[in-house]
């Protein structure tokens, strides 16, 4: 088992957006140990309509694989957002487990990142939630 995080993506913009993931290295992806990127993945249609979030209620757990061949390897993934209005524009964030002294995960080397695409600004904030078992992180994404 590795470091975990709880993810929430909120779309406060006026555009429908989609989110996908790629470049997995040493991450549990498809429900292993409860870690699943499926509930926080959305393609158009329907995407993530304005005023909604993924998952619809609560947060989605993701976890780095810290066992066997991954014990000394970095756990990484990329989160990619697309905005269609009318052209496809993208914003990609790179996540690394163990990349920050304050939190177990980092985004683009920090605890905070912001990028724009198609008139939508995406803000990612990673915080530590020490009351959770193992001090897992909260990864909050806001599109506005």
47-64: pLDDT as tens digits? 999 999 999 999 999 999
Residue 69: helix, strand or coil by DSSP?
helix
pLDDT value for 82: 93
99 confidence band (pLDDT: 50, 70, 90): low
pLDDT at 142 over 60: yes
Pull the structure tokens for residue 137. Answer: 């992180």
pLDDT at 27 over 80: yes
1 confidence band (pLDDT: 50, 70, 90): low
Higher model confidence: residue 71 or residue 75?
75
144 confidence band (pLDDT: 50, 70, 90): very high
Contact 104, 97 (CB under 8 A): yes
| CA nearest neighbour of 55 among 44, 40, 42, 45 | 40
Higher model confidence: residue 132 or residue 137?
137
63-82 core/surface letters (b: 16 or more CB in 10 A; e: else): bbbbeeebeeeebbbebebb
Q: What is the C-alpha separation between 83 and 78, in angstroms, rounded?
A: 17
**In the chain, how long is the greatest CA-to-CA distance?**
46
């Amino acid at each position: 088992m590795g470091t975990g995080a709880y993810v929430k993506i909120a779309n406060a913009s006026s555009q429908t957006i989609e989110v996908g993931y790629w470049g997995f290295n040493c991450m549990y992806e498809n429900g292993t140990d409860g870690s699943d990127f499926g509930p926080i993945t959305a393609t158009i249609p329907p995407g993530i309509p304005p005023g909604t979030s993924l998952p619809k209620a609560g947060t989605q757990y993701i976890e780095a694989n810290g066992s066997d061949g991954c014990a000394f390897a970095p756990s990484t993934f990329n989160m990619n957002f697309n905005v269609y209005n009318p052209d496809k524009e993208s914003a990609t964030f790179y996540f690394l487990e163990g990349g920050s002294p304050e939190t177990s995960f980092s985004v683009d080397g920090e605890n905070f990142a912001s990028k724009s695409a198609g008139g939508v600004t995406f803000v990612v904030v990673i915080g530590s939630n020490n009351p959770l078992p193992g001090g897992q992180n909260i990864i909050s994404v806001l599109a506005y």
